[in-house]
Amino acid sequence: MTVTDLVSYEDALDTYDPVMGLEVHVELGTKTKMFCGCSTTLGAEPNSQTCPTCLGMPGSLPVVNAIGVESAIKIGLALNCTIAEWCRFARKNYFYPDMPKNFQTSQYDEPIAFDGYLDVQLEDGEVFRVHIERAHMEEDTGKSTHVGGATGRIQGARHSLLDYNRAGIPLIEIVTKPIEGAGERAPEVAKAYVAELRELIKALDVSEARMEQGQMRCDVNLSLRPKGTEKFGTRSETKNVNSLRSVERAARFEIQRHAAVLSSGGTIIQETRHFHEEDGSTTSGRIKEEAEDYRYFPEPDLVPVAPSREWVEELRAVLPELPRVRRNRLREEWGISEHDMQSILNAGAVDLITATVEAGADSAAARKWWMGELARRANEDGVELAALPITPEQVARVTALVADGSLNDKLARQTIEGVLAGEGDPDTVVEKRGLKVVSDEGALGTAVDEAIAANAAIADKIRGGKVAAAGALVGAVMKATRGQADAARVRELILERLGAKE
C-alpha cells in the first residue's frame, strides 16, 4: 500500500476507534552489564567488552546487577506500580546470531513491577492517564552489521559482522495496557506518553534515554474497531520507533492504513512492521499471527529477586519531583503557556533551559536561544538538543554578553556558531572573531558622518522631516561596520546630526 491509497485521517476517525499499546525499551545507564561485570561504555572496539557469561559459554554463571534491580524498582515506583515481593527471571528461547546464549534472560509472568499508570499532559493542557501493565528487567542483544548489500539489510549481503559489546546491557521494558478512549488524539497521546516517560527516566537518573542513540525505543501496537463497538481489532506492531515525532507519525499512518484495509473489506494481519523516516510510512515485517513459542521457563542459574519492603520504601522516599509537577512549577516561574512548555518538552529542552537559567540567564533569553537558533541547528544535524557541543553555561554567557550590550543578536548567533564549531568558550570566540559591538562613540560618529556624506539626497529628506528615511542610513552604517554597530545608537546619532526628531 502506498501513501496515496490511505484513507484520510478524518475519514478514518469518523468510522473507527483506535486502540494502542506502547512497549518501550530503556537501556539503563549502569556501568556494567546486567549479569556480568563487563563494561557498558559505548563506542569501544567490537567484542572487547565481553566475557564467558555474556558470550554464553558453557559453565559460565550470571550474577544479577544490583543497580539494575534498583533502577527497575525506581522506574516501577515512579510509574505508580506495585513492586513484586518476589519475582524471577525467565529464559526466552530463540535462535538468533546476535544472541550468543540462544536465549534472552528476561522476565515472563513474574515482572518486578506491575499495574501502574502515568499521567501525560496533552498540548491543550488536558491530562490523559495511560495505564501500565508491567515493567520488567531483561538484557539487550548484540549488534549485527550486514556487509556487501546495497541496503545494509541481510538480503544481498556478502557476510555479516557481529559485535557482542551490547549483549547483556540491562534493559527495562515498560508495557502499557491497551490505551482506549484517545480517539483522534491517539497519535498525540502516544507521543506525549513517550515524551513523559523519557523525562521521568532522566529525572530518576537511571538512563540518559537518548532516543537517537537507541537508548530508548518504542514499539507501537495499533488496532481499529468500528466506533461504538467493544471488541478489539487485530493489531499491527511497528517496531523500534526511535524519535518522538516518529512515534506520532507511525500511529497516524497505521490508523490510516488500517482504515483503508478494513473499509475496503480486507482483514488486518497480525504482524510486525518497520517505520520509514523518509515518508512516515510502515512496511510489513514478520507475520505474528500465532503467539511465538519462546518456551519460557524460570532461569535456573539466577536466584529469585525478593526486594525487601524496607528497601522499596527507602527508594520511594527519595523519588525526585515528578517531571509533570516540575514542569508546571517552571511554567509559572517562566510565565509561559502550556503549549510553549509542551514544545519545550518535545524538543528535550526542559533541563537545558533550566540549567541555563541556573547559570544566570534570563528565562526568556534562555528559551529564545535553545528553542530558536539551537533547535534549528540540532534539527539540521539530526541530533537531539542535548547532543549539541554547547553547554547551558556557555549559552548563559552569550545571553549575558547580549544583556550588557557587548553583542547584538546577529553577533550572538555568530558567537554560538563559533562555540558549536569548537572554537572555544563564548569569550574566546568573541575575541578571536573580533565580534564586539562597536559602541565607541568616536568610531560610530565617523561611520555616521561617512554615511551622511555618501547619501546626501536621503540626508536632505531627513533634514526636511522625513524621519522614516533614517532606516536607509542606519542600514548603510551597519553594512560599513559589518553588523557590529549598536543600531539603536546609530539611529540616535543620525537624527542628532541632521537635527531631526522622531
- Beta-strand relationship, 113-121 and 82-83: antiparallel
- Which segment (15-23, 93-101, 242-250, 315-323) binds ligand ADP by CB under 6 A? 15-23
Applying CB under 6 A, does 221 fall inside the site for ligand ADP? yes
- Beta-strand relationship, 271-276 and 281-287: antiparallel
- Which segment (71-79, 220-228, 306-314, 429-437) binds ligand ADP by CB under 6 A? 220-228
Tell me the CA distances in angstroms from 405 to 165, 173, 261, 439, 484, one per residue in order: 51, 51, 61, 9, 11
CB of 353 to ligand ADP, least distance (A): 33
In degrees and rounded to multiples of 5, residue 157 shows phi and psi of: -75, 150
Evaluate whether 118 touches 130 at the Cβ level (below 8 Å): yes
3-state secondary structure of 211: helix
Applying CB under 6 A, does 106 fall inside the site for ligand ADP? no
Size of the site for ligand ADP (CB under 6 A): 16
CB of 293 to ligand ADP, least distance (A): 12
In the complex with ligand ADP, which residue's Cβ is closer, 115 or 133?
Answer: 133
Q: Look at residues 194, 203, 195 and name the one whose alpha carbon lies nearest to residue 323.
A: 203
Applying CB under 6 A, does 212 fall inside the site for ligand ADP? no
DSSP string covering 152-185 = SSSTT-SEEEEE-TTTT-EEEEEEEPPB-S-GGG
Applying CB under 6 A, does 393 fall inside the site for ligand ADP? no
The one among 139, 140, 199, 237 contacting ligand ADP by CB under 6 A: 237
- Tell me which of ligand ADP, Mg ion, Zn ion, none is bound by residue 36, counting a contact when its beta carbon lies within the kind-specific cut-off of 5 to 8 angstroms: Zn ion
Q: 10 Å Cβ neighbour count for 80? A: 15
Q: Which amino acid is at 194?
A: V
CB of 134 to ligand ADP, least distance (A): 8
- Cα 275 to the center of its chain, rounded Å: 17
Q: Is 139 left (phi over 0), alpha (psi -120 to 50) or beta?
A: beta
The one among 33, 101, 217, 235 contacting ligand ADP by CB under 6 A: 235
Q: Residues 3, 7, 13, CA angle at the centre, nearest 5°? A: 130
Q: Is the dihedral of CA 341, 176, 269, 263 positive or negative?
A: negative
- Tell me which of Zn ion, ligand ADP, Mg ion, none is bound by residue 299, counting a contact when its beta carbon lies within the kind-specific cut-off of 5 to 8 angstroms: none
Residue nearest to ligand ADP (CB): 21
Q: Spell out the residues 6+ positions from residue 317 whose beta carbon is closer than 8 angstroms to its own.
A: none
Burial 36-64 (b: 16+ CB within 10 A, else e): bebebeeeeeeeebbeebbbeeeeeebeb
In the complex with ligand ADP, which residue's Cβ is closer, 12 or 375?
Answer: 12
CB of 1 to ligand ADP, least distance (A): 19
The one among 49, 104, 107, 176 contacting ligand ADP by CB under 6 A: 176
Applying CB under 6 A, does 23 fall inside the site for ligand ADP? yes
- Beta-strand relationship, 271-276 and 170-176: unpaired
- Which segment (49-57, 89-97, 182-190, 407-415) binds Zn ion by CB under 5 A? 49-57
In degrees and rounded to multiples of 5, residue 177 shows phi and psi of: -75, 165
- Tell me which of ligand ADP, Zn ion, Mg ion, none is bound by residue 373, counting a contact when its beta carbon lies within the kind-specific cut-off of 5 to 8 angstroms: none
In the complex with Zn ion, which residue's Cβ is closer, 54 or 462?
Answer: 54
The one among 9, 117, 232, 311 contacting ligand ADP by CB under 6 A: 232
Applying CB under 5 A, does 386 fall inside the site for Zn ion? no
- Which segment (163-171, 176-184, 329-337, 350-358) binds ligand ADP by CB under 6 A? 176-184
Report the alpha-carbon distance of residue 231 to residue 220 in Å, rounded.
19
Applying CB under 5 A, does 36 fall inside the site for Zn ion? yes
**Residues in the chain, overall count:** 502
- Tell me which of Zn ion, ligand ADP, Mg ion, none is bound by residue 51, counting a contact when its beta carbon lies within the kind-specific cut-off of 5 to 8 angstroms: Zn ion
Applying CB under 5 A, does 38 fall inside the site for Zn ion? yes
Compute the CA torsion angle 419, 425, 429, 431 (nearest 10 deg).
170
- Tell me which of Zn ion, ligand ADP, Mg ion, none is bound by residue 175, counting a contact when its beta carbon lies within the kind-specific cut-off of 5 to 8 angstroms: ligand ADP
Binding pattern to Mg ion, positions 11-50, x when CB under 5 A? Answer: ------------x---------------------------
In the complex with Zn ion, which residue's Cβ is closer, 50 or 107?
Answer: 50
CB of 176 to Mg ion, least distance (A): 11
In the complex with Zn ion, which residue's Cβ is closer, 57 or 319?
Answer: 57
Report the alpha-carbon distance of residue 123 to residue 36 in Å, rounded.
43
Evaluate whether 241 touches 217 at the Cβ level (below 8 Å): yes
Report the alpha-carbon distance of residue 359 to residue 393 in Å, rounded.
6
DSSP letter (8 states) at residue 7: P
Report the alpha-carbon distance of residue 54 to residue 183 in Å, rounded.
44
Residues 116-145 that bind ligand ADP (CB under 6 A): 133
- Which segment (217-225, 319-327, 353-361, 398-406) binds ligand ADP by CB under 6 A? 217-225
Size of the site for Zn ion (CB under 5 A): 5
Footprint on this chain of Mg ion (rule: CB under 5 A): 23
Footprint on this chain of ligand ADP (rule: CB under 6 A): 19-23, 133, 175-178, 221-223, 232, 235, 237
